[in-house]
Amino acid sequence: MDTRRYVEQRLSEARAALAWRAADAREAARWRRRACAVLRRMIGLPPGPARVARLDRSEERSFAGYRRWTVRFESRPGCEVFGYCLLPGGAGEPSPGVLCLPGHGRGVDSIVGIAADGAQRALGEPAEYQADFALQCVAHGYPTLAIEQISFGHRRDAQARGEGAEASSCVRDSMAALMLGETMTGWRVWDAMRALDVLAAMPEVDPLRLVTMGISGGGLTSLWTSALDTRVRACVVSGYLNSFRGSILSVDHCVDNSVPGILRSLEMPDIAALVAPRLLFAESGAEDPIFPLPTFRSACERLREVYRVCGRSDRFAFEVFEGDHRFHGVGAFQFLREHFSR
């Protein structure tokens, strides 16, 4: 009567029909075009291009080494995105711009140094598992746009707001998306694509050097957005890259990770392969209990082969650090610095 045995049997029978099998860069490009088209349909992305129609920027504040604005824009009719624009001090030539995406928790405030009581943390002060990584981007000199993912923090429903600072409306909202024939992944990727419109239009940003960076559920959006939007020059994924079987399906994860039928088309390393030959960096804690190390390493070995076939082995790297499910960033920022200083 153990249903797990039945589930494991079904999973073992599933075959990813679009798994990456390219023998050279030309085959990889053909596979990428086909897989991207299928993936867009699977997550329910709207067809055709779109642009942000309205952008509100307010509440300017100055801190040591950077300035911060609150931003709001509509990613689709009736769907407002909330976030923060952070600019390092001093003027200069347009530089790489980073789109930062938080994971589960208090939301975007947790990555820009806003504590639960509303106080502003300085870089380096004790922080949550997300380690104020948007502040780290600014400290490294990158203009940064940090957005709230739908169902987190500032963008959750009234019921979740009454359940505490860490509560989200992910389950309710994700189930609604599925009932509409769409997915939470698609909703978040679309928001991120529209956020890239905003980031690319900033005069401080070089639109040819856009970066996505995220932890956990933000790592999902960083990876899937980069897979589907070639404007992204570099993708940083913390605490997410793995296999679906080894992570999402091995322990209890939020339903916002679920995409109907995905295992019959692509595994997670195949989705990451869509980023190639652009820059990709992944990190994972050696003791991460929800994205296990063995399947992280297996995914990375597969991606090493992908980048080798594409002739750009230097454009993929990864780091395993001592710790659990949290943002580390040491190798990631070194990777970005090495490639963007060339």
Domain ranges of the chain: 21-340
- Give the C-alpha separation, 249 to 20, whole Å: 21
pLDDT tens-digit series, residues 274-289: 999 999 999 999 999 9
Q: Is 328 helix (H, G, I), strand (E, B) or coil?
A: coil
Q: Which band of pLDDT confidence, cut at 50, 70 and 90, is reported for residue 305?
A: very high
Q: Is 282 helix (H, G, I), strand (E, B) or coil?
A: strand
* Cα angle: 81, vertex 82, 86; to 5 degrees: 125
pLDDT tens-digit series, residues 196-225: 999 999 999 999 999 999 999 999 999 999
Measuring CA to CA, which residue among 154, 137, 157, 136 is closest to residue 83? 154
What is the pairing mode between strands 279-285 and 316-321? Answer: parallel
261 φ, ψ (degrees, to nearest 5): 80, 5
Instruction: Determine what percent of the chain is predicted with pLDDT higher than 70.
Output: 98
At 51 the pLDDT is: 73
Contact between 221 and 194 under an 8 Å Cβ cutoff? The reply is no
Q: Measure Cα distances from 130 to 88, 136, 214, 280 in Å.
A: 20, 11, 9, 19
- Taking the whole predicted model, whether its pTM rises above 0.75 is answered as yes
pLDDT tens-digit series, residues 146-190: 999 999 999 999 999 999 888 999 999 999 999 999 999 999 999
Q: Which band of pLDDT confidence, cut at 50, 70 and 90, is reported for residue 52?
A: confident
Q: Which band of pLDDT confidence, cut at 50, 70 and 90, is reported for residue 124?
A: confident
Residue 342 has pLDDT above 90, yes or no: no
Give the number of C-alpha atoms closer than 13 A to the C-alpha of residue 303, restricted to the C-beta side.
30
Give the number of C-alpha atoms closer than 13 A to the C-alpha of residue 128, restricted to the C-beta side.
20
Contact between 2 and 249 under an 8 Å Cβ cutoff? The reply is no
- For domain 21-340, the CATH superfamily is Alpha/Beta hydrolase fold, catalytic domain (3.40.50.1820)
11: left (phi over 0), alpha (psi -120 to 50) or beta: alpha
At 53 the pLDDT is: 65
Q: Is 83 helix (H, G, I), strand (E, B) or coil?
A: strand
Task: Enter the tokens of residue 228.
Answer: 């589907």
